[in-house]
Amino acid sequence: MRVLFVGDIVGEPGRKAVAQLVPRLRRSEQIDCVIANGENAAGGSGITGRTASEILGAGVDVITLGDHAWGQKEIMAYIPGEPRLLRPLNYPHGAPGRGSGLFQFPSQAPIVVINLQGRAFMGDLDNPFLCAEAEVARARAETPIIVVDMHAEATSEKMALARMLDGQVSAVLGTHTHVQTADEQILPGGTAFLTDAGFTGPHESVLGRRIEPIIKRFRTNLPQRFEVASDRVLLQGALIEIDSATGRALSIRRISEPLPHPPDGQGH
């Protein structure tokens, strides 16, 4: 099974990259399943029903979220009715939506996707390690193919989770920091790991936002509007090949695909 994991989609430029590049990558790389983190998809913070539908319509099979899951209020009513949209599993009981799901694809074993959020330097949610341990044990009774999005700030927290789950899941992909790391590897037990998948959106920026207000904030400590930037748009993430019978990862490759410039006179 070939799985494309797309790093954090940032605003309209990120959604545009998904719309143009995901269908092309599905064909050229013979991808069976596309998972994308969409927690910054709507205006750079949160996701709406409309933007979620846009991403799913572009060929993404599962959307994961993170600490900005509730950045757009309307998602509270939308998420319970869309099983392909996951929020972090370790939100307390009673939060709308769900943190994992089982998904079926033609001629392939089913896949379980689990979304977790770290606690170091982030919100005080339930312990992601204990939540992951219980959920992975349950998921392994259904399928050997399990992919985890660990949305966390601390690299050590992401690595520790991957080491704990090595041999029990197919892949652990880190999100949140928007900086793609160069440490893709297959751990000894057969789990593919990348500390951070990067982000899908404008890279002539500071983590997807316009540069000048960020600098001004650091210089003056005064409030600024952090608008989404627009230039040098990339789709970043990772392509993982998984043995469908065992769930072990066979390979992992970082992806960093530029959004092609439109021909002269056909857009900006």
Residues 6+ apart with CB under 8 A from 242: 1, 2, 3, 145, 170, 171, 192, 248, 249, 250
Residues assigned a catalytic role: 68
Q: How far apart are CA 89 and CA 104, in angstroms?
A: 20
